[in-house]
Amino acid sequence: MLEKNKDYILDVISQGYEGEGIAKLEGFPIFIQGALKGEKIKAKIIKVNKNYAYGKLLEVLETAPNRKEPVCSIYKKCGGCQLQHLSYEGQLEFKRERVEDCLRKIGRLDLDTIKVHDTLGMNEPYRYRNKVQLPIGEKDGNVIIGFYAPRSHDIIDMELCHIQDPVADKVVALTRAWMKRHNVKAYDENNSKDKVKGDKSSIRHIMIRRGFKTGEVMVVIVTSGEYLPYKEEFINITLQQIEGVTSIIQNVNSKNTNVILGEKCITLWGKDTISDYIGEFKFNISPLSFFQVNPIQTEVLYNKALEYAALKGDETVFDAYCGTGTISLFLSRKAKKVYGVEIVPEAIENANINARENHIDNAEFIVGESEKVIPELIDKGVRAEVVVVDPPRKGCGRELLEAIGNMAPERVVYVSCDPSTLARDLGILEELGYKTMEVQPVDMFPQTGHVESIVLLQKKSS
């Protein structure tokens, strides 16, 4: 019987979905963060559940050939990355294997009939994020800014991050210094006054967005109330120290919630949005808009979506969960008409602006739930030859999948940020008359366990 707080010598036989090593003792699985497949390790058991256990890596006795030294000094504490100890080639292989495993186990798909390609990676898998949002707190009287530790809300203070744009490091440093200089209070989620009433002067998060091709920078300071102390100085030092700033925004979030941004944005200086390009298209991005955080790989992903859509110029396309219209605009180059649907009104506003600025007149954007809007379009007689879905992590609603099945477009292109819900939805689409043809994993988030995938499905012949 496995004993808590006891040390064991273990052979790591596989990797879990978050990159953790998996060992087995008498058939009982043990998850060990930081261990790699093929290694012999010494681990301390820290938690035992009914069907599995967690261990803490104490020593690597036999090292896997794809192990590497992490570049980050706080990697083992911070929850931002999970795979820096694995070579980049190993990361790409792990992500393809994860997708395959989900398709097989969750979707019950026959991989002998599906082409799962090697993961498309980056030439330089660091400093790729164009957006970062960091919680702010206090510890021992000091302001701390950083990512949360794994499975906790303990902030790991940091000075630099190897996966975010360097401009974010500078904004973090000036924000920390400004708060310390004026004793500006950080938000305390454990304090009932902050949580329920919204203390007027506490700072919850700092968010930085940068247009990689335009160089435009947006700084968003998230507060628990509308009053922002020493506001003018924050604006001035940001403009003095950060090159390319075109937008400084205060976002007010007074709710007791884990959601980072509130609904109210106050433009303190400059424009309400910044712009960036993906391929030939220019996009306007507001604080509340969804926009892919890795612009280099986003272009790779969207070009693959366009390839899978195989448009000839006379098709109508539905783009479900369209966000700010990024995929819609890519599709509009080859389609007769594109309907984009998104539940966030601000994103649709941005999508319409993006269409106008890019001189696109064959894309129409609709606010609402894709699960409701698209069936309504079908009921009105609007039919699509191709459907593209790019849902959030929870995947597509069953109503949308059934509506797609009933309409029976020739092709469905599924863009996914979660292999588990992707596999579930592919299984449903297979039941509704579609065949999964190709799966292309794309590494949008190097050094982490996340993987994006794009899938081509075709209608089965009668």
The answer to whether the CB of 428 falls within 8 A of the CB of 434 is: no
C-alpha to C-alpha distance for 56 and 262, rounded to whole angstroms: 37
Residue 300 identity: V
Rg (CA), the chain: 24
Residue pointed to by tokens 């599709």: 331
Query: The tokens of 115 are what?
Result: 């082409």
Q: Quick one: angle between helices 370-379 and 398-407, nearest 10?
A: 30
Residue 105 identity: K
| Dihedral of the alpha carbons of 17, 20, 24, 27, in degrees to the nearest 10 | -20
- Pure H helices in 22-126: 88-105
The answer to whether the CB of 225 falls within 8 A of the CB of 202 is: yes
Query: The tokens of 243 are what?
Result: 């090159």
3-state percent helix, strand, coil for the chain, nearest multiple of 5: 25, 30, 40
Three-class secondary structure assignment of 140-161: CCEEEECCECCCCCCECCCCCC
The answer to whether the CB of 146 falls within 8 A of the CB of 206 is: no
Phi, psi of 206 (to 5 degrees): -125, 135
Residue 225 region, left (φ>0) first, then alpha (ψ -120 to 50), else beta? beta
Q: Check 72, 102, 322, 417 and give the catalytic one.
A: 417
C-alpha to C-alpha distance for 359 and 361, rounded to whole angstroms: 6
What are the Cα distances from residue 451, in Å, to 76, 80, 208? 21, 14, 23
Instruction: Collect contacts of 62-65 with beta carbons under 8 A, ≥24 apart.
Output: 62/38, 63/39, 64/12, 64/36, 64/37, 64/38, 64/39, 65/38
C-alpha to C-alpha distance for 339 and 345, rounded to whole angstroms: 15
Q: Tally the C-alpha atoms within 13 A of residue 332's C-alpha that lie toward its C-beta.
A: 23
Q: Name the nearest CA neighbour of 442 among 295, 333, 334.
A: 295
Q: Is 417 a catalytic residue?
A: yes
Q: Enumerate the active-site residues.
A: 417
